[in-house]
Every structure is written in C-alpha cells, then in structure tokens.
Chain A
Amino acid sequence: MQVNEGFKPTIVAFCCNWCSYAGADLAGNNRLNYPAEVKIIRVPCSCRVNPMFILRAFQRGADGVIICGCHPGDCHYTSGNYYTRRRMSLLFSMLDYLGIERERTRLEWVSAAEGAKFAATMNDFVEQVTKLGENKRLEDLRCKQ
C-alpha cells in the first residue's frame, strides 16, 4: 500500500433498490464503517445496469465500479439478476481481454439483511482498487479537472 499512499479511489457502486441499497442503509443504521469514496447509485434492479453505464463511470473518472444486487433467486422482479450475471460475466471478461485490469470491476450479491456484508465488501473493494492506483486505461482526459 506504500506505493499509493494518500490515493483515494473513486468507486461507483450500482445498488439495487430492493436488496443492496437497503443493505447499505442497514450498514449505516448499524454504524458500520465503509469508505466515503464509495458513491452509491440506486437502480431499480441490478439488471438496469447497462454496460454503457459502467464504461461511462470509468470515463468520468471512476477507478472501480461495483454492482450489487439481490442474491440469485431473490430478485424482486424474479429473474433480473440472472440476466445481470450473464451480462457481467461476458463484459468483465471482455474488459480483461482488452487489458483493462479485472480487479476494477466486481459483481456482488448483497441482501437487505446483510449490512455487515455490504460494509465488508466495500472495504475490500476499495482496498483492492487503492492497490491498483488510478484508472488510466479507461479515463477520458477531457473529464479531468
């Protein structure tokens, strides 16, 4: 961690309204800590996350993007997260193929009851991205201040 001391990554977390967003709430209610660099974007379902959103987040300066949804089988809309899983498997594998670090993207299942898992996941992801440092491969220089 010495290499990137002082570096605070920007993390975008897409959280499904029904499970993971409530999970984040629970983490807050229980006063569990996770880094303030995690910017949560609430989506109706993890399946709402268009691959374009992920690339856009990277373009506008995100250093890591994480998607959180209901556990398989628990989707509020029955099957949304199953489609998410297929899409993200293919997209992450493609990004990896293009040489964009695979550690910058993640998909996690977090239920409304898993406040602790939410906090732990975010802590872990932030640590992982901090080690990698700034995202240079997908950023758009025009978006830098």
Chain B
Amino acid sequence: MQTVTKEMLIAKAAELLDNGSVTRVFGWQKGEFDYDVTPALFHSAAEMEKDFVWNDFCGANFSKYLIKDKGEGKVLVFLKPCDTYSFNQLLTEHRFDREKVYAVGIPCDGMADIRLIKEEAGEGVTGVDTEGDELVVHTLYDGDIRLNRGDFLAERCKVCKSKKHVAYDELMGDDGEIADSARFDEVAKLEAMSADERFAFWQNELSRCIRCNACRDVCPACSCEKCVFGNPKSGVENKAASDSFEEKMFHIIRAFHVAGRCTDCGECSRVCPQHIPLHLLNRKFIKDIDTFYGEYQAGAEVGSRAPLVDYTEGDIEPSKAVERGGANA
C-alpha cells in the first residue's frame, strides 16, 4: 500500500504550478488498464486530474527524462527512493541542470509486477487494486482474485536496496532506511554453477534478445549522445545483422559501459519484453567492484568517483580477481 496518495501528489503539483515554482510536471499517465502506466509530461492540474496515476505500477524512473527536457522554467519530478540514485548519478556526470529541476521525493512501498500477476490470475485481467497487503485482481472470466501483494512485487522491489531518498528538494511522507538487501543472492547462485552450466544459462537467456534496445534506451547510465550500438556500419545495430556472438557482445559491452555507474535501478529488467534477467549481469559487476575495490554504490553521493575511473597501486591482478570473483571453475 503506497502511503502517499494520488490526490496528495496532484495537490502538491497544483500548488507548485499555481505559485509558479514549476511550469510542468513529470508524472505517470494512465493507459488503457491500471497496469499499463506511461511516463508523461503534464502542464496543468486539470491534465493531471484527468490522466495522472500513482499506483503499484508506477515503476518508471524519471531521472533520465531530465536530460532531454528543455522547457522554460523548472520541471517538477516525483522521485521514488531508488530513482534518486539515478538522479545523483546523472548529476555527477553533468547530464542535466540541477537548477531547472524541482525534485519531490515520495516514499515507495514497492511496485507490483504485472507479469507475475497475469501468470497467477490467468487471462483477462482488467484491473488491479491494492487493499492493504492484498492485491485485488479484477478478471473477465474468474471475477476478483485476491493475491498477497508481497509475492507479486517486481524482482528489484523484493530485494529493494534503499527506502531512503538520497536527493530531493522536498520530501513527502516519511523517509526510510537503506536496506540490507539480498540482491546478490541470485548472482552467487549462478557463480556456484559449473562453467558449462553458466554458459548454457546465459546462452538460453541472451539468445532470446530481440535487440529492441529498450534496455539501453531506458537506462539512466546509458545516456551517450552516440552509442556504439547505434552505428549502422558496425553490423551490430540490429537483430537481423546479429548472430549468437553479437547477442553476447551487446550484453557484455552494455553491462561493461555502465559498470561502476549502474545504480541497480532495475529499469533494464523491467522493460525487457523478453524477460531477460539483465540485473544479473549488472549486479555481477557491482558485486565484483564491492569485493575488489570496496563497497561502492553509484549515485549515493553526487561527485563520487566511479571505480573504473579510479585506481590504487595495490589493486588486485586480473588472474587473482577471477578467483576472488567467486565463480566456479
């Protein structure tokens, strides 16, 4: 159950629009169903009354939208705790102008994963409401189905790393704590497999990639003006030109490009239409960085030095690193 309501957010936006602090608002817009929520830009309270939503499907992280936003005056952006890490990371990389943004931190009680809900509730889901710890799923064929909300949260929310906002101009509701998250457990499980099993696992996952580039486009760390994977001469820019090698290439390189800057916001796994567990690649890098160079959370502070643009004289050698990395031979 989200503690801050949609009405409270609209009232806050109306107040800021009225007194001229902001001229527009980044918020979640309702789609055909409760659960297909789209990121949108609103210009008035009336527009928000009509289409704005704040429910258990507002996963979209607005930090990256600030890069392209070029309107007059300030923009209001609502940030969940995990979104504030991306916000800080982009500030560290000088990707948007802090002066042009009014950030309102809102508490988040986790976002639901519609895919899990549909797997359980079957066909014809027309809407989902939250009542306390339960999700009430309205279906065409089986009436209302009640589910335990905690079991149907998105993967990244089940292992939420922080309920604490690390950036905001104003906070609504109460701030939480940095959590002791179990987010590396899955990585450790993979590491415990044999090399052949790992190869088979990734071959199976990555070969499903259709190279829609959604993971790249949504990623706040992937914000280069020109992307290596956007070059039509490279032969790697789309699925038609690719083979099993290119799939691996794309994912290894993408994960590497964001290594040390990835805040583990989980957006890539959320948007992947093929449900590839991309977080397992990024978290491997985060885990390795933590083990080799000391714990580092991208976006925790503005201006922190990312591990890959830093070094110490006594750094671990790659031959030792592979062993320390924990993966089975």
Residue pair B319, A107 in contact (C-beta under 8 Å) = yes
Q: Which of B251-306 contact A (CB under 8 A)?
A: 252-253, 255-256, 259, 281, 284-285, 288-289, 292-293
Give the residues in chain A near B293, CB-CB below 8 Å: 86
Q: Which of B198, B307, B317, B321 has the most CB of A within 10 A?
A: B321
Give the residues in chain A near B46, CB-CB below 8 Å: none
Q: How far is the CA of A98 from the CA of B284 in the complex (A)?
A: 10
Count CB-based A-B contacts (< 8 Å): 117
Residue pair A107, B252 in contact (C-beta under 8 Å) = no
Q: Which residue of A55, A89, A100 is within 8 Å of B318 (Cβ)?
A: A89
Give the residues in chain B near A105, CB-CB below 8 Å: 318
Q: Which residue of A93, A98, A106 is within 8 Å of B321 (Cβ)?
A: A93
Q: Which residue of A91, A98, A102, A106 is within 8 Å of B199 (Cβ)?
A: A98
A interface secondary structure, majority: helix
Interface residues as binary, B159-192 with A (CB distance below 8 Å gives 1, 0 otherwise): 0000000000000000000000000000000110
Residue pair B317, A99 in contact (C-beta under 8 Å) = no
Known: A97-B325, A98-B252. A86 touches B311 (CB 8 A): yes
Known: A85-B318, A86-B311, A94-B284. A100 touches B325 (CB 8 A): no
Asked if B243 is an interface residue, CB under 8 A from chain A, the answer is: yes
Residue pair B253, A52 in contact (C-beta under 8 Å) = yes
**Nearest-Cβ distance from residue A95 to partner chain B, whole angstroms:** 7
Total interface residues in chain A, CB < 8 Å: 36
Q: How far is the CA of A92 from the CA of B323 in the complex (A)?
A: 10
Residue pair B321, A72 in contact (C-beta under 8 Å) = no
User: Considering only CB atoms, which chain B residue lies closest to A99 in the complex?
Assistant: B199
Asked if A82 is an interface residue, CB under 8 A from chain B, the answer is: yes
Using a CB–CB cutoff of 8 Å, the interface residues on chain A facing chain B are 51-52, 55, 59, 72-73, 79, 82-83, 85-102, 105-107, 137-142
